Chains A and B, each alone.
Chain A
Amino acid sequence: MTVPISAYLMLSVGLLVLGMLGVIRRRNPLLLLLSIELMLNAGNVALIGFSRQWNDPSGQIFALVVMVVAAAEVVIGLGLTVAVFRSRMNLDVDEMSSMKG
């Protein structure tokens, strides 16, 4: 008796909604990035679940690519956060409204 894939998908929906909740209510860009990581992980859970459902490694390949994209996104996001902090000394996404350097 195995766990049906719908259970994994429901967990994935739950994690995605949690991440969205974080993106809506957080104002610190660092915590915003953490919530985005949560959402990417929700996608990974669904992908790996599908991969087992159909005995196909493609889902795992997608999950690995998502992990690489997450790593790249964190590098750039944290770089931007540090750069903005150094020039503004304030961390609030609502204040980062101008694109001037």
Chain B
Amino acid sequence: MAEQVTFAIAAIGALGFGIGVVFFRDAFRAAVSLIGTLLAVALLFIVLEAPFVAALQVIVYAGAIVVMFLFVIAYLGDRPIVPGTDRMDAVQPVAWIALAGVAAFGAITVLASAIGPEHSVSDTNVGSPASIGHAFLNQHIIAFEVTSLIMLIAAVGAVILAKRAVMLEGGR
């Protein structure tokens, strides 16, 4: 019973804040709304017996990533969108059809497929840091190494981008 109530609250929160992310005109409000969605999803992770991922979700996503968004939004300010010519006007209907298709396909697939037996025995150890560390280093070591490589490339790329931007303005 408690799980159902928590799920309902978190699901409504995630979807509600998600609507805010998509429809808020103000960039700052949209970013803060994303924090709400991320916290609701973290609550879902706790319900799903994944406390470690929930903690990382709060620290990395709601903490680091959104703060970076807020920094850039504050730095660039709120730009009024210049109503220019939209080159993609011609394909707009295709995008809407694709959106409706994904929604219908997802709903039908989920409703039509019988996924396994209902989760019965809960092994709370699956979500523990020890279990995740074991899985990372024993079965998914390549994913682990590729992940660190991606982060290195992203850091180097960000530095090069920033340097170019400063040089374009005539700085060092």
Contacts and interface: CB of A to CB of B under 8 A. Distances in A.
Q: Do A and B come together as binding partners?
A: yes
Interface of A: 1-22, 24-28, 30-31, 33-35, 37-38, 41, 44-45, 48-49, 51-58, 60-61, 63-65, 67-76, 78-83, 85-87, 90-92, 94-95, 97, 101
Interface residues of B, number: 88
Given A9-B110, A61-B140, A87 B165 contact: yes
* A contact face: mostly helix, strand, loop, or mixed: helix
B95 A30 contact: no
A4 B7 CA distance: 11
Contacts of A63: 50, 53
Contact of A79 (B50, B122, B162): B162
A26 B15 CA distance: 18
Interface of B: 1, 3-4, 7, 11, 14-15, 18-19, 21-22, 27, 30-31, 34, 37-38, 41, 44-45, 47-50, 52-53, 56-57, 60-61, 64-65, 68-69, 72-73, 75-76, 79, 81-82, 84-88, 92, 95-96, 98-99, 102-103, 106-107, 110-111, 115-116, 118-119, 121-123, 126-127, 131-132, 134-136, 139-140, 143, 147, 150-151, 153-155, 157-158, 161-162, 164-165, 168-169
Contacts of B3: 1-3
Contacts of B64: 71
A11 B106 contact: no
Given A2-B3, A71-B65, A94 B48 contact: no
Contact of B88 (A5, A33, A87, A94): A94
Given A33-B69, A45-B41, A76-B154, A38 B34 contact: yes
Contacts, number: 234
Contacts of A64: 53, 56, 132, 136
A14 B49 contact: no
Contacts of B30: 31, 34
B157 A3 contact: no
Given A3-B3, A5-B115, A48 B44 contact: yes
* B contact face: mostly helix, strand, loop, or mixed: helix
A60 B52 contact: yes
Contact of B103 (A4, A17, A26, A52): A17
A71 B164 contact: no
Given A34-B69, A48-B45, A82 B162 contact: yes
A75 B159 CA distance: 10
B21 A82 contact: no
